[in-house]
Structure 1
């Protein structure tokens, strides 16, 4: 059965890992590791998993966790830069943190804030924290977000990265049934080059992509 990569749509993929519940394939082109569509949760089952999350802007530990992206991205923004938090979850927090620093943010979440009108606007920066690993069509979504950036804008992502097949086999991250797309540094570099973005890695699970002015 031919399995096209959900990031770059290339057909050359190969088995990468298998556990008791799922299969994982890797794309030969962009190196994305992914779970095949027939093994994804239903939308209802996926939302039931997210409903268990207890994130809140009043949780200092959660703020500290988000700080891994918030701090390096904040340092790059012009005053009053306007942002979008994509995949804001049941307890939007990053948007509150940026608003406290004078950067108003719209929010979007398929399940908790499904106002699609915010996806038709242009932003100075967009964040997606712990989102891309949940995407069935990461290529389509990331291209859409890049298109929503103004020239000079930033796309900030948080997701844990694939390092090796050996580490992958022991990785707690794959035990979450909502995690279906797994990026490596090589994958992000490939995608950035393909979309004419400059990529940097402020930390082991953070990525900032810059839409340059030229």
Structure 2
């Protein structure tokens, strides 16, 4: 198996399910353990993503707040991998923002590929990418120069034992990032790092 981000051949496993990439320092689930589309969609349908749920709104608030701080209603945004309950988009629409939706299972319209966006956000999506390189190439191509890519995912640090880490236990989390992974992404995909924290990443396209 090769790394699905940097194509480095993978040889070292951190546990029975995950490889660690020596180049981009990502943690990758063995491809033999990937869900098929039917099983993956069934898993996502079980998510209780009610756009009116206060707890869910608070969970996604870091992304919403970044957009409200750095973007304006006249800009065009894309909620990439929005799921069945696009709570961030609902809150932005309520404030007059223009946001398109895309999700391969719940909002599969690919018209977004013909547009250019001022900002793209993905909340708890990047860890599900079977091919993060292809996804990043695609998102970069439809993001305007100086546009923002806003990502909520949980970066792994060595403060927690990986094998027992809650985020690794989700069967659909196939690609887990570290701080070094996003530094690699910024360099390889021509992004400037605006924010890089354990649970929120903001990149600006150069």
Q: With structure 1 as the length reference, what TM-score do the two structures score?
A: 0.91
Q: Is the 8 A contact 2:4 2:133 kept in 1?
A: yes
Q: Report the Cα offset of residue 79 of structure 1.
A: 4.1
Q: Report the Cα offset of residue 56 of structure 1.
A: 1.9
Structure 2 gap segments, 5+ residues each: none
* Paired position in structure 2 for 1:32: 26
Superposition RMSD in Å: 1.5
* Paired position in structure 2 for 1:55: 49
Distance 1:52 1:126 in 2: 25
Q: Is the 8 A contact 2:156 2:198 kept in 1?
A: no
* Paired position in structure 1 for 2:91: 97
The match for 2:40 among 31, 43, 46 is: 46
Q: Is the 8 A contact 1:12 1:29 kept in 2?
A: no
Structure 1 gap segments, 5+ residues each: none
Distance 2:136 2:125 in 1: 11
Deviation >4 Å, runs of 4+ = none
1:149-168 equivalence runs, <5 A: 149-164=143-158, 167-168=161-162
* Paired position in structure 2 for 1:147: 141
The match for 1:195 among 189, 199, 202 is: 189
Q: With structure 2 as the length reference, what TM-score do the two structures score?
A: 0.94
SS of the residue 1:15 aligns to: coil
Distance 1:75 1:160 in 2: 22
